Structure 1
Amino acid sequence: MHLNAVIYGLGSHEAAWRMPESDPRSLTKLSFWIDLARRAEAAGFDALFLGDVLTLQAGADKHLSDAMDPIVIMSALAAVTTRIGLIATASTTFDHPFHLARRFACLDHISDGRAGWNIVTSSNRLEAQNFGLDDMPEHAERYARAADVVDAALALWGSWEEDAKVADQQSGHYLDPAKVHRVDHKGPFVRTAGPLNVPRPPGGRPLLAQAGSSEEGRAFAASRADIVFTVQSDLSEARDFYNDIKARAVRAGRDPQSIRVLPGIVPIAATTREEAEARLLQLNSFANLEHLIAKGSEFLGVDLRSIDLEQPLPEELNMTAGNQASKSRVAALVGVARREKLTVRQLLARVACGRGHLLAVGTGQDIASTMQEWVEGGAADGFNVMCPVLPGDLTMFAEHVMPRLAERG
């Protein structure tokens, strides 16, 4: 079972920054990130995962708004960890493949081969405006560009053969020119001559992760990703997604075991179920309803201010109308609401907790049982563990869930 520790912000819960245990000023302190990395490595996680967004988001006055550059953070953490993987997010929509390939190659070198790139296409109109665009390109176009950018990066990483660097001090011979190659990538969106001015990464290239679950996202992941992150909260639907990704990998000429599917899980672990449920209630009590309504409206593409919060989502609403941001996230949230017959208020609480990811509340045995069921049931190869509050819930997961998983082999 592969486990990534998600260390974005102060936790996955929208109200994490308001909890009495949290220091909302800690994000810009290196000591905060070092502490998280050391806790996760000691607990046995396979990798750290750091998301990103390239804008000050709407409603910034009501929620944690700053977002540190993942490459900078992971570079610092490479120096204070020895084993754990370092997966950083970077957008293919707003950056050139030479920059991306060079930065991740550098991270891979200084971490001795532990770098991973979470490939995103970005989805927020405000991000587009920060880079001189009036709006985001269409969903399909963003994925077409992503494929072009990643193909160019792969070519750049391969522009140095493994033994190209001779570095013979006696002869003065530094590189073997026959083993360093121009790339001359000329795609539909990007061009680059190459070669890269950084040697081949230790493992040949960094690990590639991708999180889209739309049709375009699935096709992209099946052809290029090593890890697929996904939003799933129903076992049957998660199994269908898992089988679809594996089948697409086969059709793309890949070994289906070479691609790992990791749904997100939001664990609230405690000694007893009652304590875990009380923790969830406490978290939700700190959530700002006005912000959640705005956030839910943004995700669903519907103005929830005009809807009775105590009623279910109206059946007649078209939840994807005009929404180019994240089609798979919209489908996941609407699916949760319909399947569990949630009121709008209850759905907003789910948005606050983890935006549609699997919510697991209970003892270490309870949560371990759920995780085991999903892996053995063919719905996951592991999980992106999205602790509600950091570092507290990460410590609770390490103390209550990790030992139960170890006992089960």
Structure 2
Amino acid sequence: MSTTHDPAAPRLHLAAFLNAGPQGTAGWRHPDAGDGFLTAAHYTHIARVLEDAGFDLAFVPDSLAVPRSLGGSYAPAVTWGTGTPRLDPVPVITLMAAATRHLGVAATVSTGYQEPFHVARGMATLDHLLDGRAGWNVVTSFQDAEAQNFGQDRLLERQARYARAEEFLEVTARLWDSWGDEAIVGDKESGVFGRPEAVEALDHRGEHFAVRGPLSVPRPPQGYPVIIQAGASPAGRDFAARWADVVFCSHESLESAVAFYADVKARAAARGRDPDQLKILPAATTVVGTDLRDALAKHEAFTELVHPEAGLSRLAYHVDVDLTRYDLDGPLPALDEVGVEGHYREVVEFAAREKLSVREIGRWYGARTEGNMIGSASDIADTMELWLDSGAADGFMIQASHVPTAFDEFAAHVVPELRRRGLVRTDYAGATLRENLGLARPERGEWRNRAASTATAPAGERP
């Protein structure tokens, strides 16, 4: 086990995943769960807890629809709190950043239902106002219900969504780069505010977007806000290898995590990127007890809160497949096209190993704990260190079974053990989120290195 390490450069990065709404299918039912997800105090409390614990980042996901994946109705989602309600994440992360000084914050924004100019302007503004602490989780959306809120009957197929996202990222990065870092002079005596020669138009005309530019906001403090991505399909991995600074993933075993880590890092290297400049953070739902027996009892009590239909609703939401079409007491059939491929692969892996029916999968899925992070603080630290040393992770995306208490418990018990081992910072050394993650600031024009790459992906999997 590790003994000493520079606390200013942590080996293990910590991010927090929290809904701007109820936490999961049963988290809101937990006796210790708060019910203030519609209040500012709820999010500012969590932000301060995370910053005191040395977290790099708080990340808020999003969805642009009330799910209709189970039985074609939104009733199960509303009944069980599956994927709904969801507050707009950008005001939420702005609140969290205002309550802290160092914590990075990131919000999900879909490339499917926005325009590059809107996102570039909003994220640049946020990065300036937060002194370089902003991040953007890039998604292509995964539910037909989202498309139906924006004038479409169905989502575009996966490859088309990623083609649009590729052009979206290129245009957005070019907009951020349309101002040079030296563009603003602000010389009151001469009356010269800026250097027009340091600002350039895009005049972009592509398959999906036509953007003249330049952006109306100067280049962000971080160059580009930190880009987060969670695609697990070959197209998603390839996209992450080009654009992502942080990859959020989920695995049912250490072996699958190691394989994913090696593959995505290799894809980044094949495109001329330094693999260390892409941080991979698997999900970890921690259940902390005084010992393993106590933690298992806590988890069993949590599992008892999960109604089977609520678990099925959550699974149907993530895979975007109506599971009521199948025999719920039979095995999960092979599904050709799913919403979140990473979650589907986890389910297939676990269900095959445990020989579960669809109904049993729902019960498990409603209370699943990624990474098997159940035990005492020392047990959880052991598992995290094993994943780190095995080449499975650069850190973890901590998911709370219930909020805010599970974050409070992780900060109070697990973080001190991680700090004792020299794995997690005791203070923030960097001024920006990029610096605290150990990521270089992109030079102006960096988009060319990512968007124009023609390298071949590993194993011939380039989509």
TM-score w.r.t. the length of structure 1 is 0.93
SS of the equivalent of 1:117 reads strand
Within-5 A mapping of 1:268-279: 268-279=287-298
- Measure, in 1, the Cα distance between the counterparts of 2:128 and 2:148: 34
Within-5 A mapping of 1:254-403: 254-299=273-318, 301=321, 303=323, 307=327, 309=329, 313=331, 317-318=333-334, 320-321=335-336, 323-354=337-368, 357-403=370-416
Q: 1:40 aligns with which of 40, 45, 50?
A: 50
- Measure, in 2, the Cα distance between the counterparts of 1:340 and 1:360: 19
Letter in 2 for 1:375: L
- CA RMSD, Structure 1 to Structure 2 (Å): 1.8
Cα distance change on mapping 1:10 and 1:126 into 2, 3 Å: closer
SS of the equivalent of 2:247 reads strand
Cα distance change on mapping 1:344 and 1:274 into 2, 3 Å: farther
Query: Does structure 1 residue 16 correspond to structure 2 residue 27?
Result: yes
Kindly state the Cα deviation for residue 17 of structure 1 after the two structures are TM-superposed.
1.2
Larger mean CA deviation between 218-227 and 160-169 belongs to: 160-169
Kindly state the Cα deviation for residue 200 of structure 1 after the two structures are TM-superposed.
0.7
Kindly state the Cα deviation for residue 22 of structure 1 after the two structures are TM-superposed.
2.7
Query: Does structure 1 residue 151 correspond to structure 2 residue 170?
Result: yes
What is the number of equivalent residue pairs in this alignment?
401
Contact kept in structure 1, 2:123 and 2:136, CA below 8 Å: yes
Kindly state the Cα deviation for residue 304 of structure 1 after the two structures are TM-superposed.
5.1
- Measure, in 2, the Cα distance between the counterparts of 1:7 and 1:405: 21
**Greater relative CO, 1 or 2 (CA 8 Å, sep 6+):** 2
Q: Structure 1 unaligned segments of length 5 or more: list them.
A: none
Contact kept in structure 2, 1:11 and 1:386, CA below 8 Å: no
Kindly state the Cα deviation for residue 368 of structure 1 after the two structures are TM-superposed.
0.8
Match of 1:27 in 2: 37
SS of the equivalent of 1:27 reads coil
Within-5 A mapping of 1:95-106: 95-106=114-125
- Measure, in 2, the Cα distance between the counterparts of 1:32 and 1:119: 25
SS of the equivalent of 1:130 reads coil
Match of 1:136 in 2: 155
- Measure, in 2, the Cα distance between the counterparts of 1:405 and 1:237: 24
- Measure, in 2, the Cα distance between the counterparts of 1:181 and 1:43: 42
SS of the equivalent of 1:61 reads helix
- Measure, in 2, the Cα distance between the counterparts of 1:194 and 1:397: 45
Kindly state the Cα deviation for residue 289 of structure 1 after the two structures are TM-superposed.
2.0
Contact kept in structure 1, 2:310 and 2:362, CA below 8 Å: no
Deviations 1:119-142 (A, max 9, x none): 000101111001111010001111
Letter in 2 for 1:144: A
Within-5 A mapping of 1:39-58: 39-57=49-67, 58=74
Q: Structure 2 unaligned segments of length 5 or more: list them.
A: 1-11, 68-73, 423-463
SS of the equivalent of 1:82 reads coil
SS of the equivalent of 2:55 reads coil
Contact kept in structure 2, 1:12 and 1:386, CA below 8 Å: no
Letter in 2 for 1:275: D
SS of the equivalent of 2:181 reads coil
Cα distance change on mapping 1:102 and 1:299 into 2, 3 Å: closer
Kindly state the Cα deviation for residue 73 of structure 1 after the two structures are TM-superposed.
1.2
Query: Does structure 1 residue 224 correspond to structure 2 residue 243?
Result: yes
Contact kept in structure 2, 1:161 and 1:200, CA below 8 Å: yes
Contact kept in structure 1, 2:17 and 2:60, CA below 8 Å: yes
Q: 1:61 aligns with which of 64, 75, 78?
A: 78
- Measure, in 2, the Cα distance between the counterparts of 1:125 and 1:299: 12
Larger mean CA deviation between 15-24 and 290-299 belongs to: 290-299
SS of the equivalent of 2:142 reads coil
